[in-house]
Structure 1
């Protein structure tokens, strides 16, 4: 396992981390943040896991944007302006921002620093932990040939359904090699329906456009700064301040879709191209979304819903059938593409926990439409629900 380094490029990460980083640099450059690793699956980590993880982190300090990568961003990501790409050209990871502790088989990990810097750690760290865990515990996945067969079968099903699909699988992939293998098949065989990958490095490798917009932490920060009731609205308005009508997909479930729709006013509903569904019952959400658009006399058939909640061919078929002639569905498929290798996928997350504002650390929470996806301190979750009248 000596010198087994998983991340070999600054861009082996999800696109939405960079779009948020750009916005943070421009609007909130002095804000500090804390993140925490959450072992939802209660996994037992092998001896010396933290040591090999730290070696991987230390190696990431040497990653720099190459000239080819810079040219790729300029060509394929025009909404990232020159000043930001110049910033990224000088950016380097600082492993001192990450603290890892191992006691027996238990791992704890905390990230702390300026938000615009620490935001890039989450996805590559998750990918490293996942791949290292599988390798160090001696798991035996399906052969590459079987993974290819499974992926081709899924592509065939999605083509038959005539649905648009994207690949969102960086953070919980089995390995970089499996990720690359699957994406190669999507690029070669799913062209009519494939809209792109969230991974920038692999998108560059296959000369395709990366996809993604924003994550929950963008809205969680706004709740800490502006209050829970207005967080969704101000977060959406600030996004427009940076990107205008580009990257216009609104995230709907940071404080439940009920609160989101209260904030998604007529102006925002018209400007944003659509909404992302990431938790809760998809059919109820579709009905709620259509009702919301019709309230403002907006034609739902011209709006999109990006579905990204633990999808597989069965769920996609079920959802797309209900959406037909009602609203445009697009499916962001993650683990089912990059970690369908005959082993259980890891239930791990890294979440923002605190923001340094007004000279103190403020806890942040995500409520979600599914209780099991809520994160944050219990006391703060209770306060958020009380303030939002969700108790």
Structure 2
């Protein structure tokens, strides 16, 4: 494979990027956003990495939604209406929105533009960085046979536990080829416990429904527009207005779960099918969630928690044992599926740093349940914590 075709489909992205893009177009069509690449693992990049990465992005400008892909979205994602599909039909990546700067072994990268356009960059960019890094550092993974055996063993454990699992691993995959191989095995071996993949392109390849709802940037933007205290509530209500109760898993840790539960009133708690846990102690979170539902006289067993924080079979076994007969667990597994193939996985993210809801740039932050996952300017983080009395 040459360096210019790591992402070869407009749909090689996570489903929640498209669901958020649809909502942004409808509610905030003129809003702008800035994003930044964060190298959490302090990885050193080889010579010319930035140049080859830019060539890749230039190549993405030619990607276009095919008739077959549009038909797939119509059939498998009925909550994406025709006005949005027509928008996507005309959408093209604009590499000018991404600024890449390499000094020695350090890469800096920023994205800026209309939120409705720039929202699609994050996941494919991270996937390209990950694959290019292994390629240019000549890092090999295990053989296909060994990878197949690892995935078969994992899915066997999940089936023995009788837990529902999905694959969320696009952004930190070892490579597209490995990702495709892994998904093929999960589909072949995982029935009836494998729920699907967040990757829309690969879901289309295998004729399965893509999975996902929304990400932290949806709530971070609402904080810029409406304030930290009510961002969760307005973001959730807006989501319900767009999707009429479909795709209704609430994200709980943009401004810590304690603030989320204050916003998750009886109407929202009843209407949303469940909650996603993405940081902090999962066992504490289970207890808090059950307590919250019981306080509102809602039966927790009828609700879901979707766990998506750095999972592996041992963690899943422990979490599911605590949930048993109390609340229904689902598991979204990322890197442990798509990059547990020999070399260490990269620890890289791209996060929204500023939002411009109307005519002014406002710094945005994410206050995770664990400090090391919080993002944003230190001053804004302190301001947000003060506002929220954390």
- Superposition TM-score tier, normalisation by shorter sequence: over 0.9
Unaligned runs of 5+ in 2: none
Give the structure 2 partner of residue 85 of structure 1.
85
State yes or no: 1:131 paired with 2:113: no
Give the structure 2 partner of residue 312 of structure 1.
312
How do residues 332-347 of structure 1 correspond to structure 2 at under 5 angstroms? 332-347=332-347
Taking the aligned partners of 1:140 and 1:358, their CA distance within structure 2 comes to: 47
1:140 CA drift (Å):
1.9
Q: Secondary structure at the match of 1:360?
A: coil
1:192 CA drift (Å):
0.7
Taking the aligned partners of 1:4 and 1:313, their CA distance within structure 2 comes to: 35
Taking the aligned partners of 2:358 and 2:171, their CA distance within structure 1 comes to: 32
On the 8 A contact 2:170/2:199 being kept in 1, the answer is yes
- Which digits, 9 at most, give the CA deviation of each residue in 1:272-292, with x for residues without a partner? 000000000000000000000
Taking the aligned partners of 2:27 and 2:104, their CA distance within structure 1 comes to: 42
Taking the aligned partners of 1:306 and 1:206, their CA distance within structure 2 comes to: 23
Taking the aligned partners of 2:240 and 2:201, their CA distance within structure 1 comes to: 26
1:343 CA drift (Å):
1.1
Taking the aligned partners of 1:356 and 1:277, their CA distance within structure 2 comes to: 28
Give the structure 1 partner of residue 36 of structure 2.
36
How do residues 180-219 of structure 1 correspond to structure 2 at under 5 angstroms? 180-219=180-219
Give the structure 2 partner of residue 50 of structure 1.
50
1:359 CA drift (Å):
2.3
Matched length: 390
On the 8 A contact 2:30/2:358 being kept in 1, the answer is no
Give the structure 2 partner of residue 243 of structure 1.
243
Give the structure 2 partner of residue 70 of structure 1.
70
- Which digits, 9 at most, give the CA deviation of each residue in 1:156-202, with x for residues without a partner? 00000000000000000000011000000011110110111000000
How do residues 315-330 of structure 1 correspond to structure 2 at under 5 angstroms? 315-330=315-330
Q: Secondary structure at the match of 2:172?
A: coil
1:97 CA drift (Å):
0.3
Give the structure 2 partner of residue 229 of structure 1.
229
- Which has the higher mean CA deviation after the structures are superposed, 284-293 or 139-148? 139-148
1:360 CA drift (Å):
1.9
State yes or no: 1:270 paired with 2:235: no
On the 8 A contact 2:308/2:333 being kept in 1, the answer is yes
TM-score (norm. length: structure 1): 0.99
- Which digits, 9 at most, give the CA deviation of each residue in 1:335-388, with x for residues without a partner? 000000111110100000001144221100000101000000000000000000
Q: Secondary structure at the match of 2:361?
A: strand
* Aligned CA-pair RMSD: 0.8
- Which digits, 9 at most, give the CA deviation of each residue in 1:293-352, with x for residues without a partner? 001111100000000000000000000000000000000000000000111110100000
On the 8 A contact 2:34/2:354 being kept in 1, the answer is yes
How do residues 91-102 of structure 1 correspond to structure 2 at under 5 angstroms? 91-102=91-102
- Structure 1's consecutive aligned runs of 4 or more residues displaced over 4 angstroms after TM superposition are none
1:223 CA drift (Å):
0.5
- Which digits, 9 at most, give the CA deviation of each residue in 1:89-133, with x for residues without a partner? 110000000000011111000000000100000000000000000
On the 8 A contact 2:339/2:345 being kept in 1, the answer is yes
Taking the aligned partners of 1:357 and 1:222, their CA distance within structure 2 comes to: 9
TM-score (norm. length: structure 2): 0.99
Taking the aligned partners of 1:305 and 1:41, their CA distance within structure 2 comes to: 29
- Which digits, 9 at most, give the CA deviation of each residue in 1:236-274, with x for residues without a partner? 000011001100000000000000000000000000000
Unaligned runs of 5+ in 1: none
Taking the aligned partners of 1:361 and 1:347, their CA distance within structure 2 comes to: 28
Give the structure 2 partner of residue 369 of structure 1.
369
- Which digits, 9 at most, give the CA deviation of each residue in 1:46-66, with x for residues without a partner? 001011101110010000000
Taking the aligned partners of 1:200 and 1:379, their CA distance within structure 2 comes to: 37
